[in-house]
Structure formats: C-alpha cells, structure tokens
Amino acid sequence: MTSLPVPDSYTLVAASAAGQTKLTAFDRALLDAGVGNLNLIRVSSVLPPGAAHRPVLSLPPGALCPIAYGTIASSAPGVTIAAAVAVGIREGSFGMIMEFSGECRKEEAEIAVRAMVDEAFASRGLPLDEVKVRSTEITVPEGKAACAFAGVPLWG
C-alpha cells in the first residue's frame, strides 16, 4: 500500500475579505492569506512529527496543498465574523491543529482554538510544549458579503 508523502513544513495563515458574493469574498480571503492560487485539499488535524514552521508558504500556483482550515462567510450587514487556527506542538512527537469560525471577534476565536488544542492534547495524554495561533475578523459591510478564513497549509 502506498500513501501520500508526509509533509515536513507548515505555516499559519489568516485573512478576511469582502466581495459581491460569499464565494468571491472567500476567494479574496484565500488570495490575501497566500493560498488563493493553490488547489486546497482539506485535511483533519494532525501535524506530522518533525514538521518545521516556515513563515512563508513555498508552492507554485496550481499545486495540491493539504490544509486544515476554518472559514465563515456572511452577507448580514454589521455582523462580525472571525476564524482562527491553532497548532499545538509537542517536541519529538506529532502535533495537533484546531480550527474555529463563528460570529464573534477574533479574540473569542483564539480562546476557542486554544481550548481545543488543550483538550486534544489532554485526550491523548501528551504534554503540550507550545501553541501557535493565527486569527482574523471582519465586519460585513452594507451591500457586500464577507469571509474570514484561517488555515494551516502543509507541504514539503
């Protein structure tokens, strides 16, 4: 049995954007997050052992990119939406990625993903060495749609 290669690099991205429709707002948020020209493959929440944090995503346009993400879109004027991701790291082991999106401020989204990382590590009986968080928020403008997106692309 063969499997896909295990990624050895990751980064955290987050961006919000407005557009004429929810889909175009999502597309703009992806572009602003630096993943808009990739083919995203949504994955669950395990960070491979030994994966290195890289500040910049390095993939050519059109590449297949595994990514754990949270996203929310709305067209309700005045509503604030947020998305956040957190990566829990245990040196010498695998890590966990948690994602959240909702009608809230980004600070609330950050609290939620941090709590999820804590619970995921506790469920596995692993000590937690470090947590990295990235978040974004946007208030939906009148006559537009908006999207908040946060993700953890994996590559290499």
Q: Find where tokens 């989204």 sit.
A: 109
CB under 8 Å to 5, separation ≥6 — which residues?
none
- Among the options 3, 16, 37, 39, which is catalytic? 39
103 is catalytic: no
- Among the options 3, 9, 16, 44, which is catalytic? 44
- Among the options 16, 45, 74, 101, which is catalytic? 45
- Among the options 16, 74, 99, 137, which is catalytic? 99
User: Taking the CB of residue 127, how many other CB atoms lie within 10 A of it?
Assistant: 10
- 126 in Cβ contact with 74 (< 8 Å): no
* Nearest alpha-carbon partner for 150 in 116, 118, 102, 115: 102
45 is catalytic: yes
99 is catalytic: yes
107 is catalytic: no
> Which are the catalytic amino acids?
39, 44-45, 99
